[in-house]
Amino acid sequence: MIYKVYYQENINAIPVRENTKTLYLEAASEREVRHYLKDRTYNIELVQLLEGNYLEYEQASPNFIVENA
């Protein structure tokens, strides 16, 4: 399954929508995604499962690069 992670790069900074970044991870569960990212100093806002039409839409983006957890 592919997950889209919305995050802020600095865990100590106040979250600002304009600074939100995204990354894509292939993992078996949301728990696995969070475990994979625990060593990074990210303030994770949302982990969203991508499937169906939404996944197809994201795959069409030039920024769609999937990491493996």
The predicted structure's pLDDT at residue 15 = 85
Alpha helices in the chain (DSSP H): 30-37, 52-59
15-69 pLDDT tens trace? 888 999 999 999 999 999 999 999 998 999 999 999 999 999 999 999 899 998 7
List the beta bridge partners of residue 6: 22, 46
Q: How far apart are CA 64 and CA 55, in angstroms?
A: 10
Inter-CA distances, 67 with 14, 20, 26, 36, 63, Å: 26, 18, 6, 10, 12
CATH 3.10.20.730 holds for 2-50: yes
The predicted structure's pLDDT at residue 14 = 85
Can you give the residue ranges of every domain in the chain?
2-50
At residue 42, φ and ψ (nearest 5 deg) are -100, 145
